[in-house]
Structure 1
Protein backbone atom coordinates (compact mmCIF):
# COMPACT_ATOMS: atom_id res chain seq x y z
CA UNK A 1 0.00 0.00 0.00
CA UNK A 2 1.15 3.65 -0.48
CA UNK A 3 2.69 5.66 2.35
CA UNK A 4 -0.29 6.77 4.50
CA UNK A 5 -1.38 10.36 3.87
CA UNK A 6 -2.29 11.01 7.50
CA UNK A 7 0.47 11.63 10.06
CA UNK A 8 1.60 8.63 12.08
CA UNK A 9 0.71 8.59 15.73
CA UNK A 10 4.14 9.53 16.98
CA UNK A 11 5.67 12.50 18.74
CA UNK A 12 7.70 14.86 16.57
CA UNK A 13 10.64 14.39 18.92
CA UNK A 14 11.08 10.71 18.07
CA UNK A 15 14.56 9.40 18.74
CA UNK A 16 16.24 7.24 16.13
CA UNK A 17 15.31 4.04 18.02
CA UNK A 18 11.67 5.11 18.01
CA UNK A 19 11.81 5.77 14.27
CA UNK A 20 13.36 2.35 13.74
CA UNK A 21 10.64 0.65 15.78
CA UNK A 22 7.88 2.57 14.01
CA UNK A 23 9.13 1.59 10.57
CA UNK A 24 9.84 -1.98 11.66
CA UNK A 25 6.31 -2.35 13.01
CA UNK A 26 4.82 -0.81 9.85
CA UNK A 27 6.60 -3.45 7.79
CA UNK A 28 5.57 -6.27 10.10
CA UNK A 29 1.89 -5.32 10.21
CA UNK A 30 1.72 -4.77 6.43
CA UNK A 31 1.26 -0.99 6.47
CA UNK A 32 4.42 -0.96 4.33
CA UNK A 33 3.95 -3.95 2.05
CA UNK A 34 6.59 -6.28 0.57
CA UNK A 35 8.10 -4.71 -2.52
CA UNK A 36 6.95 -1.20 -1.66
CA UNK A 37 9.40 1.60 -2.46
CA UNK A 38 10.61 3.56 0.56
CA UNK A 39 11.60 7.22 0.12
CA UNK A 40 13.24 8.79 3.13
CA UNK A 41 11.60 12.18 2.49
CA UNK A 42 8.10 10.69 2.46
CA UNK A 43 8.79 8.58 5.53
CA UNK A 44 10.26 11.57 7.39
CA UNK A 45 7.15 13.63 6.60
CA UNK A 46 4.87 10.79 7.72
CA UNK A 47 6.71 10.38 11.03
CA UNK A 48 7.24 14.10 11.56
CA UNK A 49 11.02 13.88 11.85
CA UNK A 50 14.08 14.84 9.82
CA UNK A 51 15.52 12.52 7.17
CA UNK A 52 18.58 11.59 9.25
CA UNK A 53 16.90 9.21 11.76
CA UNK A 54 14.87 7.72 8.89
CA UNK A 55 18.03 6.97 6.90
CA UNK A 56 19.64 5.42 9.98
CA UNK A 57 16.56 3.30 10.59
CA UNK A 58 16.51 2.09 6.98
CA UNK A 59 20.15 1.01 7.29
CA UNK A 60 19.31 -1.01 10.41
CA UNK A 61 16.29 -2.54 8.72
CA UNK A 62 18.47 -3.51 5.76
CA UNK A 63 20.92 -5.25 8.11
CA UNK A 64 18.07 -7.29 9.62
CA UNK A 65 16.67 -8.22 6.19
CA UNK A 66 13.40 -6.28 6.33
CA UNK A 67 14.54 -3.75 3.75
CA UNK A 68 16.52 -4.08 0.53
CA UNK A 69 18.72 -1.08 -0.26
CA UNK A 70 20.11 -0.61 -3.78
CA UNK A 71 22.60 2.29 -3.68
CA UNK A 72 21.79 4.90 -6.27
CA UNK A 73 18.55 3.16 -7.23
CA UNK A 74 15.90 2.43 -4.62
CA UNK A 75 15.07 1.12 -1.16
CA UNK A 76 12.21 -1.35 -0.86
CA UNK A 77 10.45 -3.44 1.74
CA UNK A 78 11.96 -6.89 1.42
CA UNK A 79 9.99 -9.82 0.16
CA UNK A 80 11.32 -12.29 2.72
CA UNK A 81 12.15 -15.61 1.13
CA UNK A 82 11.98 -18.89 2.98
CA UNK A 83 15.72 -19.59 2.91
CA UNK A 84 16.92 -16.40 4.64
CA UNK A 85 13.97 -16.51 7.02
CA UNK A 86 14.78 -20.08 7.99
CA UNK A 87 18.40 -19.07 8.60
CA UNK A 88 17.35 -16.19 10.85
CA UNK A 89 14.98 -18.47 12.74
CA UNK A 90 17.75 -21.02 13.36
CA UNK A 91 20.11 -18.34 14.69
CA UNK A 92 17.45 -16.76 16.92
CA UNK A 93 16.42 -20.15 18.30
CA UNK A 94 20.03 -20.98 19.14
CA UNK A 95 20.49 -17.63 20.92
CA UNK A 96 17.37 -18.15 23.04
CA UNK A 97 18.58 -21.65 23.88
CA UNK A 98 21.88 -20.19 25.07
CA UNK A 99 20.16 -17.39 26.98
CA UNK A 100 18.00 -19.87 28.90
CA UNK A 101 20.90 -22.17 29.69
CA UNK A 102 22.97 -19.33 31.14
CA UNK A 103 20.13 -17.40 32.77
CA UNK A 104 18.25 -20.10 34.67
CA UNK A 105 20.81 -20.54 37.47
CA UNK A 106 20.83 -16.76 37.95
CA UNK A 107 17.09 -16.06 38.02
CA UNK A 108 15.60 -14.44 41.12
CA UNK A 109 12.06 -15.00 42.35
CA UNK A 110 11.23 -11.48 41.15
CA UNK A 111 12.36 -12.34 37.65
CA UNK A 112 10.28 -15.52 37.65
CA UNK A 113 7.27 -13.45 38.68
CA UNK A 114 8.02 -10.97 35.89
CA UNK A 115 7.87 -13.86 33.42
CA UNK A 116 4.53 -14.98 34.86
CA UNK A 117 3.11 -11.45 34.64
CA UNK A 118 4.29 -11.10 31.03
CA UNK A 119 2.71 -14.42 30.12
CA UNK A 120 -0.59 -13.33 31.68
CA UNK A 121 -0.52 -10.24 29.46
CA UNK A 122 0.42 -12.43 26.51
CA UNK A 123 -2.47 -14.84 27.12
CA UNK A 124 -4.92 -11.93 27.41
CA UNK A 125 -3.67 -10.46 24.13
CA UNK A 126 -3.97 -13.83 22.38
CA UNK A 127 -7.51 -14.24 23.72
CA UNK A 128 -8.38 -10.79 22.36
CA UNK A 129 -6.73 -11.48 19.00
CA UNK A 130 -4.38 -8.52 19.51
CA UNK A 131 -1.18 -9.62 17.74
CA UNK A 132 0.66 -6.35 18.47
CA UNK A 133 0.06 -6.65 22.20
CA UNK A 134 0.98 -10.34 22.03
CA UNK A 135 4.35 -9.53 20.44
CA UNK A 136 5.02 -6.85 23.08
CA UNK A 137 4.22 -9.24 25.92
CA UNK A 138 6.20 -12.02 24.28
CA UNK A 139 9.21 -9.72 24.08
CA UNK A 140 8.87 -8.84 27.76
CA UNK A 141 8.67 -12.54 28.63
CA UNK A 142 11.81 -13.56 26.75
CA UNK A 143 13.69 -10.38 27.69
CA UNK A 144 13.82 -11.60 31.29
CA UNK A 145 16.03 -14.51 30.28
CA UNK A 146 18.06 -12.40 27.84
CA UNK A 147 18.77 -9.79 30.51
CA UNK A 148 19.65 -12.43 33.11
CA UNK A 149 22.10 -14.06 30.70
CA UNK A 150 24.04 -10.81 30.62
CA UNK A 151 25.68 -11.50 27.25
CA UNK A 152 26.03 -8.38 25.10
CA UNK A 153 27.03 -10.38 22.01
CA UNK A 154 23.95 -12.57 22.33
CA UNK A 155 21.73 -9.50 22.64
CA UNK A 156 23.34 -7.93 19.56
CA UNK A 157 22.70 -11.04 17.47
CA UNK A 158 19.04 -11.10 18.55
CA UNK A 159 18.69 -7.38 17.83
CA UNK A 160 19.86 -8.01 14.28
CA UNK A 161 17.96 -11.18 13.38
CA UNK A 162 14.73 -11.09 15.40
CA UNK A 163 13.00 -8.32 13.38
CA UNK A 164 12.83 -10.43 10.23
CA UNK A 165 10.88 -13.05 12.21
CA UNK A 166 8.20 -10.60 13.34
CA UNK A 167 5.90 -11.42 10.44
CA UNK A 168 6.17 -15.12 11.28
CA UNK A 169 5.36 -14.34 14.92
CA UNK A 170 2.32 -12.29 13.99
CA UNK A 171 1.08 -15.08 11.74
CA UNK A 172 1.48 -17.56 14.59
CA UNK A 173 -0.28 -15.29 17.09
CA UNK A 174 -3.25 -14.99 14.71
CA UNK A 175 -3.37 -18.69 13.82
CA UNK A 176 -5.34 -21.58 15.28
CA UNK A 177 -2.12 -22.59 17.07
CA UNK A 178 -1.95 -19.32 18.99
CA UNK A 179 -3.10 -20.68 22.35
CA UNK A 180 -0.25 -23.21 22.51
CA UNK A 181 2.28 -20.36 22.81
CA UNK A 182 1.03 -19.36 26.27
CA UNK A 183 1.19 -23.00 27.32
CA UNK A 184 4.82 -23.24 26.18
CA UNK A 185 5.58 -20.09 28.16
CA UNK A 186 3.99 -21.60 31.25
CA UNK A 187 6.09 -24.77 30.89
CA UNK A 188 9.22 -22.69 30.44
CA UNK A 189 8.43 -20.74 33.62
CA UNK A 190 8.09 -23.95 35.60
CA UNK A 191 11.39 -25.28 34.26
CA UNK A 192 13.08 -22.01 35.19
CA UNK A 193 11.53 -22.05 38.66
CA UNK A 194 12.78 -25.62 39.12
CA UNK A 195 16.30 -24.61 38.08
CA UNK A 196 16.24 -26.99 35.10
CA UNK A 197 18.60 -25.13 32.77
CA UNK A 198 18.86 -27.96 30.24
CA UNK A 199 15.10 -28.41 30.03
CA UNK A 200 14.49 -24.67 29.76
CA UNK A 201 17.14 -24.33 27.05
CA UNK A 202 15.62 -27.16 25.03
CA UNK A 203 12.11 -25.71 25.28
CA UNK A 204 13.30 -22.18 24.42
CA UNK A 205 14.97 -23.55 21.30
CA UNK A 206 11.88 -25.53 20.29
CA UNK A 207 9.59 -22.53 20.84
CA UNK A 208 11.50 -20.37 18.38
CA UNK A 209 12.52 -23.12 15.99
CA UNK A 210 8.88 -24.12 15.49
CA UNK A 211 7.96 -20.76 13.93
CA UNK A 212 6.22 -21.47 10.58
CA UNK A 213 8.53 -19.73 8.12
CA UNK A 214 7.10 -21.02 4.83
CA UNK A 215 4.20 -18.56 4.73
CA UNK A 216 5.85 -15.69 6.57
CA UNK A 217 6.90 -13.73 3.51
CA UNK A 218 3.40 -12.39 2.98
CA UNK A 219 1.61 -9.69 4.92
CA UNK A 220 -0.42 -10.94 7.90
CA UNK A 221 -3.33 -8.92 6.49
Structure 2
Protein backbone atom coordinates (compact mmCIF):
# COMPACT_ATOMS: atom_id res chain seq x y z
CA UNK A 1 0.00 0.00 0.00
CA UNK A 2 1.24 3.47 -0.85
CA UNK A 3 2.39 5.68 2.00
CA UNK A 4 0.97 8.77 0.34
CA UNK A 5 -1.67 10.76 2.25
CA UNK A 6 -3.72 11.98 -0.69
CA UNK A 7 -6.00 14.93 -0.01
CA UNK A 8 -9.32 14.47 -1.77
CA UNK A 9 -9.80 17.71 -3.67
CA UNK A 10 -13.21 16.93 -5.16
CA UNK A 11 -15.23 20.14 -5.32
CA UNK A 12 -13.14 21.91 -2.71
CA UNK A 13 -12.42 25.52 -3.51
CA UNK A 14 -8.76 26.46 -3.87
CA UNK A 15 -8.70 28.38 -0.60
CA UNK A 16 -10.21 25.37 1.19
CA UNK A 17 -7.44 23.12 -0.12
CA UNK A 18 -4.79 25.54 1.15
CA UNK A 19 -6.50 25.61 4.55
CA UNK A 20 -6.62 21.81 4.55
CA UNK A 21 -2.88 21.67 3.93
CA UNK A 22 -2.30 24.28 6.64
CA UNK A 23 -4.19 22.16 9.17
CA UNK A 24 -2.25 19.07 8.09
CA UNK A 25 1.07 20.83 8.72
CA UNK A 26 -0.13 22.08 12.11
CA UNK A 27 -1.02 18.50 13.05
CA UNK A 28 2.44 17.40 11.95
CA UNK A 29 3.88 19.96 14.37
CA UNK A 30 1.55 18.93 17.18
CA UNK A 31 2.36 15.24 16.87
CA UNK A 32 6.11 15.84 16.63
CA UNK A 33 6.64 14.86 13.00
CA UNK A 34 7.81 18.40 12.23
CA UNK A 35 10.15 19.58 14.97
CA UNK A 36 11.66 22.99 15.83
CA UNK A 37 14.80 23.66 13.81
CA UNK A 38 13.95 21.16 11.09
CA UNK A 39 13.32 22.04 7.46
CA UNK A 40 10.24 21.28 5.38
CA UNK A 41 10.79 19.52 2.09
CA UNK A 42 8.13 21.09 -0.13
CA UNK A 43 8.48 18.56 -2.95
CA UNK A 44 8.26 15.60 -0.60
CA UNK A 45 5.18 16.87 1.23
CA UNK A 46 3.43 17.80 -2.01
CA UNK A 47 4.05 14.26 -3.26
CA UNK A 48 2.90 12.68 0.01
CA UNK A 49 -0.34 14.68 -0.04
CA UNK A 50 -0.90 14.23 -3.75
CA UNK A 51 -1.23 17.96 -4.43
CA UNK A 52 0.55 20.66 -6.40
CA UNK A 53 3.08 22.93 -4.70
CA UNK A 54 0.88 26.03 -5.06
CA UNK A 55 -1.62 25.32 -2.23
CA UNK A 56 1.29 24.04 -0.14
CA UNK A 57 3.13 27.34 -0.61
CA UNK A 58 -0.02 29.25 0.36
CA UNK A 59 -0.30 27.17 3.53
CA UNK A 60 3.36 27.87 4.34
CA UNK A 61 2.83 31.61 3.88
CA UNK A 62 -0.05 31.32 6.38
CA UNK A 63 2.24 29.52 8.83
CA UNK A 64 4.96 32.13 8.35
CA UNK A 65 2.53 34.95 9.13
CA UNK A 66 1.72 33.20 12.41
CA UNK A 67 5.39 32.67 13.28
CA UNK A 68 5.57 28.90 12.91
CA UNK A 69 8.00 28.82 9.98
CA UNK A 70 10.45 31.01 8.09
CA UNK A 71 10.52 30.79 4.31
CA UNK A 72 14.11 31.14 3.10
CA UNK A 73 14.31 32.07 -0.59
CA UNK A 74 16.02 29.32 -2.60
CA UNK A 75 16.94 27.52 0.63
CA UNK A 76 13.70 25.98 1.86
CA UNK A 77 11.38 26.38 4.83
CA UNK A 78 12.65 26.38 8.42
CA UNK A 79 10.40 25.30 11.31
CA UNK A 80 10.93 28.02 13.92
CA UNK A 81 12.02 27.38 17.47
CA UNK A 82 10.07 29.17 20.19
CA UNK A 83 12.39 31.44 22.14
CA UNK A 84 11.73 32.71 25.63
CA UNK A 85 11.43 36.20 24.14
CA UNK A 86 8.69 34.86 21.86
CA UNK A 87 6.89 33.59 24.96
CA UNK A 88 7.26 36.96 26.68
CA UNK A 89 5.80 38.79 23.68
CA UNK A 90 2.96 36.29 23.40
CA UNK A 91 2.01 36.75 27.06
CA UNK A 92 2.08 40.53 26.68
CA UNK A 93 -0.14 40.39 23.58
CA UNK A 94 -2.67 37.92 25.00
CA UNK A 95 -2.94 39.76 28.30
CA UNK A 96 -3.47 43.09 26.57
CA UNK A 97 -6.17 41.74 24.24
CA UNK A 98 -8.06 39.72 26.84
CA UNK A 99 -8.04 42.57 29.36
CA UNK A 100 -9.37 44.96 26.70
CA UNK A 101 -12.12 42.53 25.70
CA UNK A 102 -13.35 41.92 29.24
CA UNK A 103 -13.43 45.63 30.08
CA UNK A 104 -15.52 46.28 26.98
CA UNK A 105 -17.76 43.24 27.42
CA UNK A 106 -18.32 43.06 31.19
CA UNK A 107 -21.97 44.16 30.92
CA UNK A 108 -22.65 41.31 28.48
CA UNK A 109 -21.55 38.61 30.92
CA UNK A 110 -24.56 36.56 32.04
CA UNK A 111 -25.14 33.93 34.70
CA UNK A 112 -24.98 31.31 31.92
CA UNK A 113 -21.47 32.44 31.02
CA UNK A 114 -20.40 32.27 34.66
CA UNK A 115 -21.88 28.79 35.12
CA UNK A 116 -20.05 27.57 32.03
CA UNK A 117 -16.76 29.08 33.20
CA UNK A 118 -17.12 27.45 36.62
CA UNK A 119 -17.92 24.07 35.07
CA UNK A 120 -14.91 24.17 32.73
CA UNK A 121 -12.58 25.30 35.49
CA UNK A 122 -13.78 22.54 37.83
CA UNK A 123 -13.34 19.95 35.08
CA UNK A 124 -9.79 21.16 34.47
CA UNK A 125 -8.99 21.06 38.18
CA UNK A 126 -10.33 17.52 38.53
CA UNK A 127 -8.26 16.32 35.56
CA UNK A 128 -5.09 18.01 36.79
CA UNK A 129 -5.49 16.46 40.24
CA UNK A 130 -5.93 13.08 38.53
CA UNK A 131 -2.75 13.65 36.51
CA UNK A 132 -4.64 13.78 33.22
CA UNK A 133 -3.38 16.60 30.96
CA UNK A 134 -4.81 15.18 27.73
CA UNK A 135 -7.45 17.85 27.17
CA UNK A 136 -5.86 20.68 29.12
CA UNK A 137 -5.03 22.99 26.21
CA UNK A 138 -8.42 22.61 24.54
CA UNK A 139 -10.26 23.08 27.84
CA UNK A 140 -8.23 26.18 28.59
CA UNK A 141 -9.08 27.58 25.16
CA UNK A 142 -12.75 26.86 25.80
CA UNK A 143 -12.58 28.69 29.15
CA UNK A 144 -11.08 31.84 27.67
CA UNK A 145 -13.19 31.69 24.51
CA UNK A 146 -16.34 31.70 26.64
CA UNK A 147 -15.90 35.41 27.28
CA UNK A 148 -13.78 36.32 24.27
CA UNK A 149 -16.60 35.25 21.94
CA UNK A 150 -18.85 37.88 23.50
CA UNK A 151 -16.78 40.61 21.89
CA UNK A 152 -17.94 41.95 18.53
CA UNK A 153 -14.33 42.79 17.60
CA UNK A 154 -13.67 39.94 15.17
CA UNK A 155 -10.22 41.24 14.29
CA UNK A 156 -8.97 40.88 17.86
CA UNK A 157 -10.45 37.39 18.14
CA UNK A 158 -8.68 36.32 14.96
CA UNK A 159 -5.38 37.68 16.26
CA UNK A 160 -5.35 35.92 19.60
CA UNK A 161 -5.86 32.26 18.65
CA UNK A 162 -2.68 31.85 16.54
CA UNK A 163 -0.68 33.43 19.36
CA UNK A 164 -2.03 30.85 21.82
CA UNK A 165 -1.37 28.04 19.37
CA UNK A 166 2.21 29.29 19.06
CA UNK A 167 2.69 28.79 22.80
CA UNK A 168 1.75 25.12 22.43
CA UNK A 169 3.11 24.59 18.93
CA UNK A 170 4.92 21.30 19.48
CA UNK A 171 4.33 18.34 21.80
CA UNK A 172 5.07 19.26 25.40
CA UNK A 173 4.84 16.61 28.08
CA UNK A 174 6.44 18.45 30.99
CA UNK A 175 3.21 19.79 32.48
CA UNK A 176 3.62 21.33 35.91
CA UNK A 177 0.62 20.43 38.13
CA UNK A 178 1.38 23.20 40.62
CA UNK A 179 1.27 25.77 37.83
CA UNK A 180 -1.90 24.40 36.29
CA UNK A 181 -3.66 24.35 39.67
CA UNK A 182 -2.58 27.93 40.31
CA UNK A 183 -3.99 28.89 36.92
CA UNK A 184 -7.27 27.38 38.08
CA UNK A 185 -7.17 29.53 41.21
CA UNK A 186 -6.63 32.59 39.02
CA UNK A 187 -9.59 31.52 36.91
CA UNK A 188 -11.67 31.39 40.11
CA UNK A 189 -10.60 34.90 41.11
CA UNK A 190 -11.46 36.09 37.61
CA UNK A 191 -14.93 34.52 37.83
CA UNK A 192 -15.56 36.22 41.18
CA UNK A 193 -14.86 39.58 39.54
CA UNK A 194 -17.33 38.74 36.77
CA UNK A 195 -20.00 37.95 39.34
CA UNK A 196 -19.52 41.45 40.76
CA UNK A 197 -19.50 43.02 37.28
CA UNK A 198 -16.01 44.26 38.16
CA UNK A 199 -14.50 44.65 34.70
CA UNK A 200 -11.47 46.51 35.98
CA UNK A 201 -10.65 43.80 38.52
CA UNK A 202 -11.19 41.02 35.98
CA UNK A 203 -8.92 42.79 33.49
CA UNK A 204 -6.24 43.21 36.17
CA UNK A 205 -6.23 39.48 36.92
CA UNK A 206 -5.91 38.64 33.23
CA UNK A 207 -3.22 41.14 32.26
CA UNK A 208 -1.22 41.63 35.45
CA UNK A 209 -1.38 38.13 36.91
CA UNK A 210 -2.63 35.37 34.64
CA UNK A 211 -0.84 36.55 31.47
CA UNK A 212 2.02 38.33 33.20
CA UNK A 213 5.35 36.89 32.12
CA UNK A 214 7.07 38.20 35.26
CA UNK A 215 4.45 36.66 37.56
CA UNK A 216 4.45 33.31 35.75
CA UNK A 217 8.14 33.05 34.82
CA UNK A 218 9.03 30.66 37.65
CA UNK A 219 6.92 28.10 35.77
CA UNK A 220 7.45 29.36 32.22
CA UNK A 221 11.19 28.68 32.26
CA UNK A 222 10.97 25.01 33.30
CA UNK A 223 7.92 24.42 31.07
CA UNK A 224 9.80 25.61 28.00
CA UNK A 225 12.99 24.01 29.30
CA UNK A 226 15.16 27.11 29.34
CA UNK A 227 17.32 28.46 32.15
Task: Report the TM range for the smaller structure's normalisation.
Answer: 0.7 to 0.9
The structural deviation recorded for 1:160 is 4.1
After TM superposition, the structure 1 stretch with the greater mean CA deviation from structure 2, 13-22 or 146-155, is: 13-22
Determine the structure 2 residue equivalent to 1:99.
Answer: 101
Rounded to whole Å, the distance in 2 between the matches of 1:16 and 1:122 is 34
Which is greater in Rg? 2
TM-score (norm: length of structure 1) = 0.77
RMSD value, Cα:
3.4
After TM superposition, the structure 1 stretch with the greater mean CA deviation from structure 2, 145-154 or 164-173, is: 164-173
The structural deviation recorded for 1:43 is 3.9
TM-score (norm: length of structure 2) = 0.75
1:167-192 CA deviation, whole Å, 9 max, x = no partner? 59957844542211112112212211
Rounded to whole Å, the distance in 2 between the matches of 1:35 and 1:81 is 12
Q: Give the count of matched residue pairs.
A: 213
The structural deviation recorded for 1:141 is 0.6
SS state of the match for residue 77, structure 2?
strand
The structural deviation recorded for 1:216 is 6.2
**1:80 pairs with 2:82:** yes
Q: Answer whether contact 2:98 2:206 (CA < 8 A) is retained.
A: yes
Determine the structure 2 residue equivalent to 1:208.
Answer: 211
SS state of the match for residue 99, structure 2?
helix
Determine the structure 1 residue equivalent to 2:13.
Answer: none
SS state of the match for residue 68, structure 1?
strand
The structural deviation recorded for 1:204 is 1.2
The structural deviation recorded for 1:45 is 5.9
Q: Answer whether contact 1:129 1:174 (CA < 8 A) is retained.
A: no
Determine the structure 2 residue equivalent to 1:151.
Answer: 153
Rounded to whole Å, the distance in 2 between the matches of 1:141 and 1:102 is 18
> What stretches of structure 2 of length at least 5 have no aligned partner?
10-15
